[in-house]
Amino acid sequence: MPHTISYKEIIEDFITEERLRSYKVTFKTQSDIELLGAYLWNTHVCSAIYPLLSATEVALRNAIDSALTSSDLGYFWWKKNKLHFKSFDPEQPDKNPPFEVEAIRKNFSKATKQVQQDKKKRYNIANPTPMHQEIIAKTEFSTWEYILSKEFMGPGLIWPTHLGTVFKGEWNTTKTKELLINTKDLLTSSPR
């Protein structure tokens, strides 16, 4: 094993000191060689885990979308007049929605625009109409984290109605609210 680093100055130009500091603290490295080794080890671990995380994201996304599309919400269930939330006040329909609700709307708007741009560029279509599955595929992972918000939990809302359809199998609780909280905790604590 080498005891020196070739081209240290070049490496320092590409990997910031701030970035490496977190590795030094976490792995308690004693030398530059150990520090770079910890950094490279982490990149290998992340690259090995990435396909699994990606497949999990797609499975989660598709399970939620399938459950909501099959319901009375239908395709484009994320539209403002379809996706209801707990703090919605019909007497103040223009009141700013909670963060999670607004984030979902922005994510779907961004995904829709991205599909339109892609179709214009690829197929030279002036005003392309995005299809449901194209929009779903373009959403960011945070969309599916936000949809698990307690804002969507309650009578007449998507949770608990569709929770058993999305998350099948045995869980450590039979209480819907706890299941939603546990599931969201699993998503937010996973490395990204």
The pTM (predicted TM-score) of the whole model is: 0.77
Contact 130, 112 (CB under 8 A): yes
Reduce the DSSP state of residue 153 to 3 states and report it. strand
What pLDDT digit, counting tens, does each position of 48-73 carry?
Answer: 999 998 998 999 999 999 999 998 88
Share of the chain above pLDDT 70, in %: 94
Q: What is the dihedral of CA 69, 71, 72, 76, to 10 degrees?
A: -10
CA 60 to chain centre: 10
Which residue, among 71, 59, 65, has the nearest Cα to 161 in the 3D structure?
Answer: 71
Q: Could you tell me the two tokens for 48?
A: 């090995």
CA angle 112, 65, 54 (to 5 degrees): 80
Mean pLDDT, residues 42-53 taken together:
94
